[in-house]
Structure 1
Amino acid sequence: FREDYNITIKGGKIPVPFRSWKEANFAKEITDIIESIGYKEPTPIQRQAIPIGMQNRDIIGVAETGSGKTLAFLIPLLSWIRTMPKIDNYSSDASDQGPYAVILAPTRELAQQIEEETNKFGVPLGIRTVVVVGGLSREEQGFRLRQGCEIVIATPGRLVDVLENRYLVLNQCTYVVMDEADRMIDMGFEGDVQRILDRMPVTNLKPDTEDA
């Protein structure tokens, strides 16, 4: 099956790819959204990356533009956030600790494209997203962040800015996606990315080396 779809893998105990959305066995809410949007068949990167992501394992996915990478990281992310307490401005303990996940993108345009795709699922699921990018009011973004959200989608430079100005903390952020990571490094964002990662909680839990 992997040969048929030109899927190459490297790592230990990698789950088998699924052949259809139905076979993927997602929560019914997510399957219903996929059907309502009209996504007929999963792409090769989705068939293999999503089962790995659903195990909450680190993954590097490489595929061409337009191959469905965004959905490949969104479905495991949203499936996990569904199990977490909602973050809003009424539950100050949770909102004061920041989002559960950060998605980094090299450009404002890509960040906004990811937001559009995320909201197709997030709005029906009650999962809130805030975009933090240059060219928009920092104060307005700060206001939305203080209202609470589960996911922040950002460009590295602006996210560092809001972190340093204390509009946001990442005390409970344990899920990070770096979309077009190679492009971010090429554009000189490596230092900003490291500063962002340094703001996140450190875990002493080690992965099972046989599975990692």
Structure 2
Amino acid sequence: MSFSALGLSDAIVRAVTEHGYTVPTPIQTQAIPAVMNGGDLLAGAQTGTGKTAGFTLPILNRLSTDAVGAAQANKSSPRAVRCLILTPTRELAAQVEESVRVYGKYTNLNSAVIFGGVGINPQIKQLKHGVDILVATPGRLLDHMGQRTVDLSKVEILILDEADRMLDMGFIHDIKKVLAVLPKKRQNLLFSATFSEEIKALADGLLNKPAMIEVARRNSTVEVIAQKIHPVDRDKKHPMLSYLIKSNNWTQVLVFTRTKHGANKLVEQLGADGIGALAIHGNKSQTARTRALSEFKDGTLQVLVATDIAARGIDIDQLPHVVNYDLPNIPEDYVHRIGRTGRAGATGEAVSLVCVDEHEMLKDIEKLIKQTLPRQVVPGFEPDPTARAQPVQLRSGAPGHGGRRSGGGGGQVVKVGAGGNSNRSAGKPRGASGNGGGGNRTSASPLHRSGGRGR
């Protein structure tokens, strides 16, 4: 199967080919024809499977080849937003918009990305000039709606990317506010790595007789990722991580912590051990996030320490190692975390450092992924068999326990009920801080490269 065989225009196939991709991934093979048919779509795909191109390619094809697209390209008045893509985090928004630009370079379409944490005035100026495809985080989009600097009355296609994370972060009310101003007649696409009951409820209310695609078993983990558990006492996690990095000569390691404070502390500890590390989380400035992500991607930074929210959208070629310094208290986040490695067929290793406090979390993860992860005790770091569990800190000053639903960044805890009601991320003024995450990415969405190399 080739991209041209899927019905994509010569202009789009040319851009894809120039980027080194020749063979569509399974999600692309199924999603591209479904989207181009014009109907609604509910798609489940793990991270690293190429889902971003699975929707960017067909929407570019639809919008660039129809009569409206031709007329809009030829008129002098500002373009209207025809496609709206909502993502949960800044770096994912930047990733998706870059894919639109890369694959749409030979079309007559233009695009823009808007998110918080940066000045709003340049975004207002860009929107005023007219945009065909708008990628946005919910909070900043509502800011523009409130200031009447964006017109969504002509939207033909709505895409919710990583909808599960948007619900976990408490964006359901923001999404409903956006839906209220969109045209009733439109195409809706919902992409999610996991299918929770909340996602099913959202899909039922949003989608009209959707096609359904699921390219991997629900909540499964990528088979090419080697997963292991290192039991360790809580106060020995940092020495063990330094030992693993040095003894195994790891040169590029993505490390997950549960809280922002924990990320900052670990960076200092690793630095004292002579290991270069930077943190990426919601309290970091946009400049700091961009710098950390850029240095990690080009290999000059050995260790990137991240919270769950900040890591959404990180897409790095051949990332070999992911370490769960702290287990996530939401089991689904384990799937998202380890999906940063083993992308598009590449191999990868996911290591979790688990202390007695996290045994219940580990049980929940293994129940979700339907497998028992192998345990390996590292000599010199044998855990104390008499150690007793202590409450796990989910956010600054707030002890909690496994199973509590959190925003994932260490700065807020969000509960989502079965009916879809949720609390917005606490403690962050929407216009000031944006929607978590950060850092612009520099590579396009996952596809299969010729020669088997991919993301």
TM-score normalised by the shorter chain: which range applies? 0.7 to 0.9
2:31 is equivalent to residue 41 of structure 1: no
- Contact 1:45–1:69 (CA under 8 A) maintained in structure 2: yes
The one-letter code of the counterpart of 1:191 is: H
Aligned to 1:8: none
Aligned to 2:150: 168
Give the direction of change, closer, same or farther, for the CA distance of 1:108–1:125 in structure 2 (3 Å limit). same
Which of 27, 30, 43 matches 1:61?
43
Aligned to 2:112: 130
Normalising by structure 1, we get a TM-score of: 0.82
2:77 is equivalent to residue 91 of structure 1: yes
2:87 is equivalent to residue 101 of structure 1: no
2:57 is equivalent to residue 75 of structure 1: yes
Give the direction of change, closer, same or farther, for the CA distance of 1:89–1:51 in structure 2 (3 Å limit). closer
Normalising by structure 2, we get a TM-score of: 0.39
Q: For this pair of structures, how many residues does the alignment match?
A: 189
Once residues 209 and 97 of structure 2 are traced to their aligned partners in structure 1, the CA distance between those partners, rounded to angstroms, is 34
Report SS of the residue matched to 2:85: strand
Q: Where do 1:165-204 residues align within 5 Å?
A: 165-203=147-185
Give the direction of change, closer, same or farther, for the CA distance of 1:208–1:34 in structure 2 (3 Å limit). same
Q: Using the TM superposition, give the Cα deviation of residue 163 of structure 1 relative to its aligned residue in structure 2, in angstroms.
A: 0.7
Once residues 150 and 159 of structure 1 are traced to their aligned partners in structure 2, the CA distance between those partners, rounded to angstroms, is 15
Unaligned runs of 5+ in 2: 187-206, 213-455
Give the direction of change, closer, same or farther, for the CA distance of 1:22–1:78 in structure 2 (3 Å limit). closer
Unaligned runs of 5+ in 1: 1-18
Report SS of the residue matched to 2:124: helix
Once residues 203 and 100 of structure 1 are traced to their aligned partners in structure 2, the CA distance between those partners, rounded to angstroms, is 12
- Contact 2:12–2:106 (CA under 8 A) maintained in structure 1: no
2:41 is equivalent to residue 22 of structure 1: no
- Contact 1:171–1:201 (CA under 8 A) maintained in structure 2: yes
Higher helix share: 1
The one-letter code of the counterpart of 1:200 is: L
Report the RMSD for the aligned CA atoms in angstroms: 2.4
- Contact 2:42–2:210 (CA under 8 A) maintained in structure 1: no
Q: Which deviates further from its counterpart, 60-69 or 118-127?
A: 118-127
Point out the structure with max Rg over C-alpha.
2
Q: Which deviates further from its counterpart, 116-125 or 148-157?
A: 116-125
- Contact 1:87–1:150 (CA under 8 A) maintained in structure 2: no
CA-to-aligned-CA distance 1:150-201 (integer Å, 9 cap, x gap): 0110000100110111011101002011110010011000011111111111
Once residues 156 and 70 of structure 1 are traced to their aligned partners in structure 2, the CA distance between those partners, rounded to angstroms, is 18
Q: Using the TM superposition, give the Cα deviation of residue 208 of structure 1 relative to its aligned residue in structure 2, in angstroms.
A: 9.4
Q: Using the TM superposition, give the Cα deviation of residue 32 of structure 1 relative to its aligned residue in structure 2, in angstroms.
A: 1.3
Once residues 201 and 122 of structure 1 are traced to their aligned partners in structure 2, the CA distance between those partners, rounded to angstroms, is 25
The one-letter code of the counterpart of 1:139 is: N
Once residues 211 and 49 of structure 2 are traced to their aligned partners in structure 1, the CA distance between those partners, rounded to angstroms, is 27
